[in-house]
Amino acid sequence: MILYLDTSSLVKLYIEEDQSTEVRRADKAAEIVATSKVAYPEAFSAFARKHRDGELNQTDLGKVCDALRDEWAMFAVIDIDEKRAGDLAVKHKLRGFDAVHLAAAVTVRTEIADVDVVFMSFDGRQTAAALAEGFRVTA
pLDDT at 110 > cutoff 80:
yes
Phi and psi for 54 in degrees, rounded to 5? 80, 10
Whole-number Å distance between alpha carbons of 40 and 54? 21
| Residue 64's CATH number | 3.40.50.1010
Whole-number Å distance between alpha carbons of 133 and 117? 12
In contact, 90 and 103? CB cutoff 8 Å: no
Residue 124 domain boundaries: 2-138
pTM of the full structure? 0.96
Give the chain's domain count. Answer: 1
pLDDT at 113 > cutoff 90:
no
Q: What average pLDDT does the structure give for the chain?
A: 97
How many C-beta atoms surround the C-beta of residue 26 within 10 A? Answer: 21
